Chain A
Amino acid sequence: MSTKLAVTHRRPLTMALAAAGLALAAAGAGAQSDDKTLREIERYREMLQDGNPAELLVMRGEELWKTKRGPKNASLEQCDLGLGPGVVKGAYAQLPRYFADADQVMDFEARLVHCMVTLQGFDRAAVTKSPFSGAGQRATDIEAITAYVVEQSRGMPIAVPQNHPKEKASFERGKYLFYMRAGPYDFACATCHGVDGQRIRLQDLPNFEKPEPAQRAFATWPAYRVSQGALRTMQWRVNDCFRQQRWPEPIFISQGTIDLITFLGVKANGGKMASPSIKR
């Protein structure tokens, strides 16, 4: 049912995209300054805010969260996301963090998998096999639940903790990974995300060394990606960056990906969550 709804919802967005594309082309033809182009892009982004298909996924995710499922026939309502069992409000904004029961720093997606395995009895390998949906496909359970949980942090300050020694170590490893140059193109995350005002083509690249762009970026993931017709999580964001970096594929919810997200989150502390957002 939600798939059908998502399709009808997507149509006006595609039209908006086409209209904004024309506006962009028209602006480009006469534009001498970057400013004017950037204003047009900003206008296009505003047009996108009208209807976010992620709302439907938030509803599906809530249902998944509250429904008894899995071999243990349990819901996720007793899942401890760091603020105590069952507390969802504001939890996403304070992740990744250290969890004593797993003796590990976990991001939201790692913690969700942990709860699906320990509370509901799902098989870890099965749950993590295909965490991301293909373009235009029905969202995975992980994506839908992520949409629901992150929605419960909307407007709340990002506060990724740095108290436990393992949280500090996670940040340090994430920082090293952020600056690490490797692969046939010699790219690091920092190649694109360590300088102010950089763009690939017309796409802005947030500089994670500065609070304001780091906050704006971190606050707006996960996001509904119009061009892919899909809700994209932070693990997906990191994965697709590494693809373009010409690195091997990061393993879903591996410690390295969590460390990188810890680094990005701490850099974004103080920003206000605004997710799921909608992006081109």
Chain B
Amino acid sequence: MNKALAAAGACAVALAGCASMMYTPPTKEETLAVIKSSFKDRGIAKVDRLNQTELQLVCTETHNNPPKEVRERLEKAALATVKYPSDGKWLGDYKQGERVAQTGVGLQWNDKPGAPAGGNCYACHQLSKAEISFGNIGPSLYNYGKKRGNDKQTLRYTWAKIWNAHAFNACSSMPRFGDAGILTEAQIKDVMALLLDPASPVNQ
């Protein structure tokens, strides 16, 4: 504040060269124009990925802490995107689920179009005890099913959380595995089994 006043004062005295030294913060439009001109299409990753959804924009500008009424509205909208299993079967094969959890490929510019993506669950979560290379951005999911059981409510909640985590925390860091089309319904069933099947290594 004082510095700015001093600078303005100096400008009033020595008119020449001052315009270039005055600082005005870039507007949001200027900032976004610079950002968008700094990226290019590569492979499947096109520049239109920089066009933000309302949720992405709100979470950007509030640093993931939107006001209560906005948060609740976004969560409600996210919950409405969830498509529950079409055949009423919730659990697939936990062994396939472990593969999905271990694999991190998908939707990067070096990934082949149409190749199946992974869930990369271990990047952020502990799951089975045997895998010691796990991240900690999300909570540990070890014994997830053992602790929660697999009644209808747990099945629905877990499915929805994987499909669109923003339904329960508007600015969650977790990708929308179903809503964004990262995993198929069959893959989500396999991850569900990894979490909830009593025979899964997660529940040993």
Contacts and interface: CB of A to CB of B under 8 A. Distances in A.
A185 B35 contact: no
B56 A243 contact: no
Residue of A29, A31, A164, A184 contacting most chain B CB atoms (<10 Å): A184
B135 A199 contact: yes
Most chain B Cβ neighbours within 10 Å, of A197, A203, A244, A249: A249
A165 B22 contact: yes
A200 B34 contact: no
A182 interface: yes
Contact of B45 (A164, A168, A188, A246): A246
A259 B34 contact: yes
B181 A200 contact: no
Contacts of A190: 63-64
Interface in A156-212: 164-165, 168-169, 172-173, 176-177, 179-188, 190-192, 195, 197-203
A165 B17 CA distance: 13
A184 B42 contact: no
Given A186-B176, A251-B39, A251-B40, A243 B108 contact: yes
Interface string B100-115: 0000000111100000
B50 interface: yes
B45 A247 contact: yes
B107 A181 contact: no
Interface in B14-50: 20-26, 28, 30-32, 34-35, 37-42, 45-47, 49-50
Contacts of A180: 35, 52, 60
A256 B21 CA distance: 22
Contacts of B198: none
A173 B33 CA distance: 10
A183 B40 contact: no
Which applies to chain B's interface (DSSP): helix, strand, loop or mixed? loop
Interface residues of B, number: 51
B180 interface: yes
A257 interface: yes
Given A176-B35, A250-B39, A185 B175 contact: yes
A28 interface: yes
A172 B25 contact: yes
Contacts of A172: 25-26, 31
Contacts of A203: 135
B86 interface: no
Contacts of A133: none
A266 B124 CA distance: 28
A243 to B, nearest CB: 5
Nearest to B50: A182
A169 B59 contact: no
17 contacts: A31-B132, A34-B136, A169-B25, A172-B26, A179-B63, A183-B107, A184-B182, A185-B180, A186-B56, A186-B175, A199-B135, A200-B135, A201-B134, A243-B110, A251-B40, A255-B38, A257-B38
Per CB-CB distance, the 7 closest pairs between chain A and chain B, nearest first, are A256-B38, A254-B38, A28-B132, A165-B23, A249-B42, A185-B175, A181-B56
